[in-house]
């Protein structure tokens, strides 16, 4: 495994076409695209890393996996009255389907869906309480209390919130959001601003590798059916309108973020986190996808083969 990761990191260091760093969040615009990290955590407690695997980055939309888990824990199947579970085939920040579907977002991984999940889990509470809960959850699944929000990134998104605010107000106009839009958005932007490195992120994914059980403590995080369903959603919707391409090239459930990270789950085998800040035209990490494609070719890990 170590050899495979070293080879991938060496290969990625040679790549010249590294994609474009997200600049619609100004705080992310000056991140050096010449970075690449990969980490693999296995259920028996091993951790393998290569490249910039201990450099912190903004997990952005990968956080939507964690809030979905919290949402399902709190509301059970009632969560699906707030959000659907179908691929959208549209960009992550698209508004078009919301009008046809009366403000109910297609799935929890597009921005509108993640905003609806935040509104659902707020249940009348203040943003601070919900953010405390989200961070506590992340600390628990990583067994690492050093993980924090990056308030500068959250503030930067709040300053440039026009698109996400449009999505939120549009949903609110259909009676879909119950809380104050700015409170929901402030919570959502903080959730997205969580800073983690590849090792922490790979470690965070282990509960989805192990049927919902946290491997650090042996405690069940979520029931087996839900863990399986979160993996299904990651496979179908985790890369927005690039989900088909990701399934074709990687064949594992994955969730990307515009910070350049991708969390990928190989059930029973391991959790893989990759990070490279340059994005493709869809907003997914360009080298991250390439590296994962190499990784599955080398390891044979796939949900479609034994």
Q: Which residues make up the interface to ligand GLN (CB under 6 A)?
A: 60-61, 92-93, 111, 157, 164, 192, 257-258, 283
Which SS3 state, helix, strand or coil, does residue 268 take? coil
207 is in an annotated binding site: no
| Burial status of residue 127 (CB atoms within 10 A of its CB: 0-12, 13-18, 19 or more) | buried
188 is in an annotated binding site: yes
Instruction: Specify whether the CB–CB gap between 194 and 201 falls below 8 A.
Output: no
The residue among 9 and 28 lying less far from ligand GLN, judged by its C-beta, is 28
Smallest gap from Cβ 61 to ligand GLN, in A, equals: 3
The residue among 48 and 92 lying less far from ligand GLN, judged by its C-beta, is 92
Residue closest to ligand GLN (Cβ): 61
159 is in an annotated binding site: no
The residue among 87 and 267 lying less far from ligand GLN, judged by its C-beta, is 87
Instruction: Specify whether the CB–CB gap between 198 and 37 falls below 8 A.
Output: yes
Smallest gap from Cβ 186 to ligand GLN, in A, equals: 12
Q: How far is CA 196 from CA 101, 145, 177, 214, 273, in A?
A: 35, 11, 29, 18, 10
224 is in an annotated binding site: no
Q: Where would I find the H helices in 102-259? A: 111-122, 127-142, 151-159, 162-173, 181-192, 198-204, 206-209, 224-237, 243-249
Smallest gap from Cβ 184 to ligand GLN, in A, equals: 12
Smallest gap from Cβ 111 to ligand GLN, in A, equals: 5
The residue among 190 and 215 lying less far from ligand GLN, judged by its C-beta, is 190
The residue among 108 and 257 lying less far from ligand GLN, judged by its C-beta, is 257
284 is in an annotated binding site: no
Smallest gap from Cβ 274 to ligand GLN, in A, equals: 15
157 is in an annotated binding site: yes
Phi, psi of 171 (to 5 degrees): -65, -40
7 is in an annotated binding site: no
Distance, in Å, from the CA atom of 263 to the CA atom of 198, rounded to the nearest integer, reads: 9
Distance, in Å, from the CA atom of 96 to the CA atom of 124, rounded to the nearest integer, reads: 29
Going by the annotation, the residues of the binding site are: 61, 111, 157, 164, 188, 240, 258
Output the known binding site for substrate. Answer: 61, 111, 157, 164, 188, 240, 258
């Amino acid at each position: 495994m170590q050899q495979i990761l070293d080879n991938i990191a060496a290969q990625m260091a040679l790549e010249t076409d590294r994609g474009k760093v997200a600049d619609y969040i100004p705080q992310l615009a000056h991140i050096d695209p010449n970075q690449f990290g990969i980490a693999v955590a296995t259920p028996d407690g091993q951790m393998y890393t290569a490249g910039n695997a201990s450099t912190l980055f903004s997990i952005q939309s990968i956080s939507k996996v964690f809030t979905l888990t919290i949402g399902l824990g709190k509301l059970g199947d009632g969560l699906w009255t707030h959000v659907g579970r179908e691929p959208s085939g549209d960009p992550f920040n698209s508004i078009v389907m919301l009008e046809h579907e009366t403000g109910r977002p297609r799935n929890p991984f597009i921005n509108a869906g993640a905003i609806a999940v935040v509104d659902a889990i707020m249940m009348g509470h203040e943003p601070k309480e919900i953010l405390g809960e989200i961070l506590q959850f992340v600390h628990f699944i990583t067994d690492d209390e050093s993980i924090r929000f990056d308030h500068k990134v959250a503030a930067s998104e709040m300053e440039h919130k026009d698109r996400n605010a449009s999505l939120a107000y549009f949903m609110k106009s259909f009676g879909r959001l119950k809380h104050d839009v700015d409170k929901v958005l402030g919570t959502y932007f903080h959730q997205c601003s969580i800073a983690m490195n590849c090792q922490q992120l790979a470690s965070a994914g282990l509960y989805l590798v192990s049927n919902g059980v946290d491997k650090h403590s042996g405690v069940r995080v979520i029931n087996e059916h839900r863990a399986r369903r979160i993996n299904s959603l990651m496979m179908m919707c985790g890369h927005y309108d690039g989900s088909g391409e990701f399934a074709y090239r990687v064949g594992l459930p994955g969730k990307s973020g515009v910070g350049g990270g991708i969390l990928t789950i190989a059930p029973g085998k391991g959790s893989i986190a990759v990070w490279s800040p340059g994005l493709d035209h869809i907003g997914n990490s360009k080298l991250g996808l390439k590296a994962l494609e190499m990784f599955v070719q080398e390891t044979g890990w796939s949900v479609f083969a034994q």
